[in-house]
Homo-oligomer: A and B are copies of this chain.
Amino acid sequence: MKSTMTFKMTLIASAFALFAAESGLARESAVQHTGSKAVVVSNDITEAEVIAAQSAWGGALVQISKDFEEGGIKKARATANAVLDAAYGYNLGAVLFKPTLTTVPNTFRTTKEGALSYFVGDNSKYPQDTGFALKDWRSVEIKNVAIYLDGDTAMSMGNVMMTDKAGKLTTVDKTWGYTKDDQGTLRIVLHHSSLPVPGK
């Protein structure tokens, strides 16, 4: 693995250098690529796609809040359900989801039902859930610290700052893992969110 900042230099150095050290190599000018541009097939996740998926997540959170205000729990639930179907990977078997505020014995929400309850509450199986997405969210700011790309899997870590309609700011430490499905859509397969430890 190499940081993308360094791998171009590494490439130039590596493919040739190991054997060039023992033998003066033919100049690269002996080789040329010709013909039409090759068709490239790839399902690799790009940094831009991670950013777009995060923007979609933030937009969805705000939307659920607004739908709750306009249409009540029924509308909010419908939106949250659609968001979970579209943006998470529950269709793939399970999602590694530790929401910000869940408690024992329902800390982890590996099923869609558990995730839906966390976002909009109203589920007697999860009596502590009050609906995190219903808290009047108006805007979301995301600061990524690091992003890890590996083919059709990616991970990101950083802070997410959510502001409600009263201007109150909530900051969380956030990790997301993603896969890209056959339609080219990023799906969240891992989500660990936690409140920052108070500074001393």
Contacts and interface: CB of A to CB of B under 8 A. Distances in A.
A107 interface: yes
Interface of A is mostly: mixed
A179 B108 CA distance: 23
Interface string A127-150: 010000000001111111111111
Identical chains bound together, number: 4
Interface in A66-110: 66-67, 75, 78-79, 82-83, 85-87, 89, 91-98, 100-104, 107-108, 110
A33 interface: yes
Interface of A: 1-7, 10-12, 14-19, 21-28, 30-36, 38-44, 47-49, 51-56, 58-60, 62-63, 66-67, 75, 78-79, 82-83, 85-87, 89, 91-98, 100-104, 107-108, 110, 128, 138-153, 155-159, 173, 175, 177, 179, 181-186, 189-190, 192, 194-200
